[in-house]
């Protein structure tokens, strides 16, 4: 209604003035009227874009629900980094919370242990860095002179052009001065992940500066999930991930694999650059889709980023400046006293090809690899199961456990196999996930798993987190519509 009122007012004001308004015209200069007219037209364009974004968001939400019911595909952008909302409940690695006799939350041992691992650090970076500020209106000041900031950008010698203006300056100050704790966490994670990204971009002959996009997309969190289901460090939507060869099934989500996902992101960006011939436009299309970038180009009548800037969706406008800001903060961290936070990731890893079903607990309990390390290095196996019977799979281990794994493979595969795979998975052709009970209307014994609805949640998003369907959640909770409220407690399955 608010947007409709603005549009109506805009059309009224843009209409020719009646003759009776002659007195009003005498009181204003023609230049003033033209200026007001131009401002109103610009605001009208912004409202139109906002309405389009609302329609697009509604379409994506509907598509998410349809996909969870086993139908439909996504047809939107690869990245949705401006609205990252990380896993709030401790589901990763099978950890869940259950309601105890007093109605409180009781964490399982696996979850308690995993909170000591790198995922604790990931969960600390819960929000998009710029979410604390309205970057369209804020104007940061800095003790560093503009000329010094400009010279530092030039010394970075970036293949991608790094412009300097007030918008870019705001993001440079944001990342380098306004969030030292969060940047320390990002710097710690970057020590491990950035070399992986560089290798992928070198493989396709792309600028290495593209690696900083992952900071904007997810704050380097491999298990980040946006409000519309974009997943992983590079925030791929389901259909786009499939189009670029990423596997998503009951056991594997390659969007959470840092190696597989950056390879797909590199190929996406290569394709986008072939379309637009400009890296800033290609980067923008990763966030909002090539369709929105093309619309902005048509409205602006030009093909450079700063010309189309006013016509891009609001969240995308800051994407390229934010990337410049993050790049600047990483490169000049020492000048601002930013230190990398300690991260529990092994310095050297070894890669094995697995062609039999393998549970993380089998590896951990036989040769002593901390299960947290296995999850950190292999986040794509979100049920702690490597489904080797479905085809050869990659397993990454800390280098110091390589010999033990090679020497004990037979023992590892046999260890408690009947117990760990009973009711979970058989020969790979008829895979049945361990959470199958949560995908069907619950019956029989077991303890209900509850989820407390948070701001921005919807049934599709909640169902995706708990590997079930919207239909099941509605059935378990007696819901007649898709409406839910913040703070509401929902049954999401049984354990």
C-alpha to C-alpha distance for 112 and 117, rounded to whole angstroms: 10
- What one-character-per-residue DSSP string does 41-72 give? HHHHHHHHHHHHHHHHHHHHHHHHHHHHTT--
pLDDT tens digit sequence for 245-265: 999 988 999 999 999 999 999
- pLDDT the model gives residue 382: 87
Whether 137 has a pLDDT exceeding 50, the answer reads yes
- Give the CATH fold of the 81-88+126-336 domain: Lysozyme (1.10.530)
Model pTM score: 0.62
Q: Which residue has the tokens 């009224």?
A: 12
Annotated domain spans of the chain: 2-68, 81-88+126-336, 349-421, 436-494
The average pLDDT across 27-39 equals 71
Average of pLDDT values for 173-199? 92
* Alpha-carbon span 380 to 246, nearest angstrom: 10
Cβ–Cβ under 8 Å, residues 277 and 305: no
CATH architecture of the domain with residue range 436-494: Roll (3.10)
Residue 57, pLDDT > 70, answer: no
**pLDDT for 305 beyond 50:** yes
Confirm whether 81-88+126-336 and 436-494 share one CATH topology: no
Could you give the angle at the alpha carbon of 62 between the alpha carbons of 60 and 66, nearest 5°?
115
Of 7, 61, 53, residue with least CA distance to 312: 53
Residue 46, burial from CB neighbour count under 10 angstroms (0-12, 13-18, 19+): middle
pLDDT at 66: 34
CA distance 468 to 352: 31
Tell me the average pLDDT across 100-111. 32
pLDDT for residue 91 is more than 70: no
Tally of CB atoms within 10 A around 148: 12
- What percent of the chain stands above pLDDT 90? 41
Mean pLDDT across the chain, nearest whole number? 75
Rounded to whole angstroms, the Cα distance separating 78 from 81 reads: 9
Residue pair 188/124 in contact by the 8 Å Cβ criterion: no
CA-based end-to-end distance of the chain:
45
Pairing of strands 105-107, 349-354: unpaired
Q: Are 241 and 254 in contact (CB under 8 A)?
A: yes
Question: Is 60 exceeded by the pLDDT of residue 404?
Answer: yes
Q: How far apart are CA 57 and CA 163, in angstroms?
A: 31
**Of residues 303, 313, 314, 311, the one with CA closest to residue 281:** 303
Residue 359 DSSP one-character state: E
Q: What is the bridge-based pairing of β-strands 97-99 and 357-359?
A: unpaired
Query: What pLDDT is stored for residue 441 in this prediction?
Result: 38
């Amino acid at each position: 209604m608010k947007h409709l009122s603005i549009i109506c007012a805009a059309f009224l004001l843009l209409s020719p003035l009646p003759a009776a308004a002659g007195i009003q015209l005498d009181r204003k200069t023609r230049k003033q009227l033209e200026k007001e007219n131009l401002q109103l037209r610009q605001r009208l364009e912004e409202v139109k874009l906002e309405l389009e974004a609302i329609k697009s968001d509604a379409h994506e939400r509907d598509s998410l629900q349809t996909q969870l019911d086993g139908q439909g595909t996504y047809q939107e952008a690869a990245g949705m980094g401006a609205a990252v909302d990380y896993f709030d409940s401790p589901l990763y690695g099978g950890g869940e919370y259950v309601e105890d006799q007093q109605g409180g939350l009781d964490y399982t041992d696996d979850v308690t242990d995993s909170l000591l691992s790198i995922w604790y650090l990931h969960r600390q970076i819960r929000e998009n860095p710029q979410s604390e500020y309205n970057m369209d209106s804020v104007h940061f000041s800095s003790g560093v002179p503009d000329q010094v900031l400009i010279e530092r950008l030039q010394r970075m010698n970036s293949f991608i052009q790094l412009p300097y203006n007030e918008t870019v300056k705001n993001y440079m100050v944001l990342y380098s001065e306004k969030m030292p704790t969060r940047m320390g966490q990002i710097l710690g994670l970057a020590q491990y992940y950035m070399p992986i990204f560089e290798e992928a971009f070198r493989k396709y002959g792309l600028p290495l500066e593209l690696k900083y996009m992952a900071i904007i997309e997810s704050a380097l969190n491999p298990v980040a999930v946006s409000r519309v289901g974009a997943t992983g460090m590079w925030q791929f939507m389901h259909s786009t991930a499939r189009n670029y060869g990423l596997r998503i099934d009951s056991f594997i989500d390659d969007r959470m694999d840092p190696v597989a996902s950056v390879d797909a992101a590199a190929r996406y960006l290569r394709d986008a650059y072939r379309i637009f011939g400009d890296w800033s436009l290609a980067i923008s299309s990763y966030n909002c889709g090539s369709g929105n970038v093309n619309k902005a180009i048509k409205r602006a009548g030009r093909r450079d980023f700063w010309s189309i800037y006013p016509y891009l969706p609001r969240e995308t406008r800051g994407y390229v400046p934010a990337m410049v800001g993050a790049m600047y903060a990483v490169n000049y961290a020492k000048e601002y006293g930013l230190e990398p936070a300690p991260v529990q990731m092994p310095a050297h890893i070894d890669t094995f090809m697995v062609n039999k079903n393998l549970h993380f607990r089998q590896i951990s309990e036989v040769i002593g690899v901390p299960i947290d390390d296995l999850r950190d290095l292999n986040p794509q196996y979100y049920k702690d199961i490597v489904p080797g019977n479905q085809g050869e799979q990659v397993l990454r281990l800390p280098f110091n456990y390589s010999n033990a794994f090679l020497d004990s493979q037979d023992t590892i595969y046999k260890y408690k196999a009947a117990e760990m795979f009973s009711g979970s998975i058989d020969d790979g052709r008829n895979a049945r996930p361990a959470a199958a009970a949560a995908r069907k209307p619950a019956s029989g014994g077991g303890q209900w798993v509850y989820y407390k609805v948070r701001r921005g949640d919807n049934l599709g998003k909640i169902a995706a987190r708990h590997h079930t369907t919207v239909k099941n959640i509605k059935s378990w909770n007696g819901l007649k519509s898709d409406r839910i409220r913040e703070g509401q407690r929902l049954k999401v399955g049984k354990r």
